[in-house]
Structure formats: C-alpha cells, structure tokens
Amino acid sequence: MLTSKIYILSVWSSFSDQADNFLLPCPFKYLTGTDCPGCGFQRSVIALAHGDLKESLNFYPPAIPLLVTLAIVLIAKLRRGDLSDSVIRILYLITGSAVAINYLFKIITHYLPVWLHGFHLQ
C-alpha cells in the first residue's frame, strides 16, 4: 500500500513539473492575438495544484470561483438535487460575472492602451 502511494506521488510530481508541456493553445488568441476570457485558466490550475495561491490568482483570478462552482454543481447533481436550481443559477451568475469582470479589466489595462497607442490622432 505504501509503495503504491509513493508511486502515485512520484508520477504526480513528474507530471506536475512538466505540465506546461501539455497546455492547450488558445485558438482565439492564435486567430486574434488577444487573450480570450479563459486565457490563463490552465496555468492557474497548475499553480493551484502546486499550492501557489498567489501565482494562481495572478494567472487567472476567476479560476477558484470556477472550480468551486464546478465542484458544488457536480456534487449536487450526483446527489440528485441537494441544491435548488436557483442556487445553482446564482453560482453561475457569480462565476460568470467574475469571468466577465476579469476579462474587462484585462482588456482595459493590457490591450486598450496598446490599441489606443496605435491610433495617432492628428
């Protein structure tokens, strides 16, 4: 039993050290050159898996609300309706708002100045 736990931990450690090699590229960013509303989520989850909360929040702040909402909804669905549909809708609304606010903040602080700099009014 102890051997299997050690094996699992070593496999996890090996995978987590090389997880950056398996990240999926963002097709939206590839086509537009601009981050999509979900860009940073994969790196955020990897940082969270390494126990680095600060780095996770730097990569993608809505990752934690997304993961909490996913866990709550999955548990509720597996238990067949422990949570009412209105509570789940509220969780979706809060999480969706966090994603939208994060994306607007990213656009305003990172991309808008670059775009405006490209337009020289004379």
pLDDT digits (tens, 9 = 90+) for 87-120: 888 999 999 999 999 999 998 888 777 767 766 5
Residue 108 is predicted with a pLDDT of 87
Least confident segment among 1-10, 26-35, 46-55, 69-78: 1-10
Q: Which of helix, strand or coil describes residue 40?
A: coil
Residue 18 is predicted with a pLDDT of 63
C-alpha dist (Å) from residue 101 to 33, 37, 38, 43, 95: 20, 10, 12, 19, 10
- Burial degree of 63 (CB within 10 A; 0-12, 13-18, 19+): buried
CB burial readout 32-54, b (16+ within 10 A) else e: eeebebbbbbbbbbbbbeeeeee
Residue 17 is predicted with a pLDDT of 62
Residue 24 is predicted with a pLDDT of 87
pLDDT averaged over every residue in the chain: 82
Task: Look at residue 14 and tell me whether its pLDDT is greater than 60.
Answer: no
Instruction: Tell me which DSSP letter residue 109 carries.
Output: I
| Percentage of residues of the chain with pLDDT beyond 70 | 76
Q: Indicate whether this model's pTM tops 0.75.
A: no
What is the distance between the alpha carbons of residues 120 and 108, in angstroms, rounded to a whole number? Answer: 18
